[in-house]
């Protein structure tokens, strides 16, 4: 009888409800799930990552399948070899685990890969095909399956590992934190409701055009951002720019545009895909959408319009030098110097130092120095003296 009463009390405590309320974290998560991109939630232990996934599955009406990555062997994801009647003719198939079979039978579901940062490198390697190609052994997961993972930072994980760069580059990384008001209301019995974003069918062509113009326009102006593997092991285990992650960013911009998502939500998603630095530059580009094409500047350098904001002007000058590097011609080299001088006249001479040095290094032996370069001499000389003093 005592356990019966205890069960009744536990049932009452578990009887909670949900409400729709603004929540940027949850909106970013549901938008990435709607875009069918793997999501990785990073956060300290005990802040509700696992509880969020249970609530997300309930809110979306998807069956939840939880797999603790660290307690599995690589063969649990790559498949176990099963010898058939005639392996010389039919080969040896890789049998999938039971959880993958259940997902295929259901045709839909939420695959939750928990404790990802405690999975050893061999298991992380086996997860590569699961996350990117949705393949478990010889089985392909249905299109109705979404993948979300959770991890603790290595410093707070139980026997944690850094995420391998190939696996990290397959996820949209979201930093998961708690809000005081959300926790208080949740403990009081009311949690935020996870709902898929409402996409405006009439804006789909516009959303695709916006996404392609923004990503392609940004990368034309910042070609060195196409692929940039971080220097440290820790940063390689997070978001960083690559053609794969830019493709994910493009998809997220399209979904965010069609859903009318807030700037804060889009910023979380973009930074979680290509990293904080590139992500913030993309957001600045989206705010203005006015970084001129370097080829236009080289064609008409004397009328070039440069922005007042230093970060945008720096991005333009770097893209200008890269354009000359890609196609080094005397006329294009001269035109680039004209644009640098125009930037110098606008102030902030330090912005010109790096691109001017890079442009000077591209000079061919038979190229005469343009007259305008004399205006840059004091700036470059000062930079040389400062460098020598260090």
- Tens of pLDDT, residue by residue over 321-376, are 999 999 999 999 999 999 998 888 888 888 888 888 888 889 898 888 877 777 77
Q: Are residues 47 and 179 in the same domain?
A: yes
Residue 141's pLDDT is 92
* 39 within a domain of the structure (yes/no): yes
Is residue 33 in a domain?
yes
161, part of any domain = yes
Verify that 189 and 206 share a domain, yes or no: no
- Compute the distance between CA of residue 97 and CA of residue 113 in angstroms, rounded to an integer: 14
Beta-carbon neighbour count of residue 153 at 10 Å? 16
**Angle CA 111–117–118, to nearest 5:** 100
Residues 187 and 137 in one domain: yes
Domain termination site, one of 196, 227, 257: 196
Collect the ranges in the chain with pLDDT lower than 50. 382-390
In a domain, residue 177? The reply is yes
Same domain, 252 and 183: no
> Residue 213 has which token pair?
């113009």
Question: Is 273 in the same domain as 359?
Answer: no
pLDDT attached to residue 378? 67
The CATH code of the domain that includes 20 is 3.40.50.300
Nearest CA among 75, 113, 116 for reference residue 97? 75
Question: If you ran DSSP here, which 8-state letter would residue 223 be given?
Answer: G
Tens-place pLDDT, residues 211-243: 999 999 899 888 999 999 998 888 899 999 999
Residue ending a domain, among 289, 312, 327, is 289
pTM: 0.72
Looking at the structure of the chain, the number of domains it has is 3
Is there a single domain that holds both residue 212 and residue 350? no
Residue 302 and residue 275 share a domain = no
């Amino acid at each position: 009888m005592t356990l019966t009463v205890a069960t009744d009390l536990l049932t009452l405590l578990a009887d909670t409800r949900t409400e729709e309320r603004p929540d940027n974290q949850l909106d970013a998560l549901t938008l990435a799930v709607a875009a069918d991109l793997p999501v990785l939630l990073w956060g300290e232990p005990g802040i509700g990552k696992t509880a969020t996934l249970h609530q997300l599955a309930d809110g979306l009406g998807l069956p939840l399948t939880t797999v603790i990555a660290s307690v599995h062997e690589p063969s649990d994801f790559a498949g176990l070899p099963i010898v058939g009647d005639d392996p010389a003719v039919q080969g040896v198939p890789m049998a999938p685990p039971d959880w993958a079979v259940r997902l295929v039978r259901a045709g839909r579901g939420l695959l939750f890969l928990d404790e990802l940062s405690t999975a050893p490198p061999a298991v992380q390697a086996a997860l590569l095909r699961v996350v990117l190609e949705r393949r478990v052994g010889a089985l392909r997961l249905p299109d109705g399956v979404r993948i979300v993972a959770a991890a603790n930072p290595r410093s707070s994980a139980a026997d944690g590992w850094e995420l391998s760069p190939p696996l990290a580059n397959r996820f949209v990384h979201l930093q998961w934190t708690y809000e005081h008001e959300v926790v208080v209301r949740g403990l009081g019995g009311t949690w935020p409701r996870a709902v898929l974003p409402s996409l405006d069918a009439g804006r789909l062509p516009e959303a695709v055009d916006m996404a392609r113009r923004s990503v392609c326009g940004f990368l034309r102006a910042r070609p060195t951002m196409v692929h940039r593997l971080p220097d440290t092991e820790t940063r390689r285990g997070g978001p960083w720019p690559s053609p794969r992650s830019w493709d994910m960013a493009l998809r997220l911009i399209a979904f965010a545009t069609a859903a009318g998502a807030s700037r804060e939500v889009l910023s979380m998603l973009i930074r979680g895909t290509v990293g904080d630095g590139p992500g913030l530059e993309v957001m600045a580009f989206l705010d203005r959408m006015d970084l001129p094409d370097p080829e236009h500047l080289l064609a008409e350098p004397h009328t070039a319009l440069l922005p007042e904001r230093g970060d945008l002007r720096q991005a333009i000058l770097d893209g200008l030098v890269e354009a000359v590097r890609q196609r080094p011609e005397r006329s294009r080299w001269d035109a680039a110097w004209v644009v640098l001088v125009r930037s110098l006249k606008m102030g902030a001479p330090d912005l010109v130092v790096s691109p001017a040095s890079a442009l000077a290094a591209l000079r061919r032996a038979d190229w005469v120095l343009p007259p305008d370069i004399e205006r840059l001499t004091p700036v470059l000389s000062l930079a040389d003296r400062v460098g020598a003093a260090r």
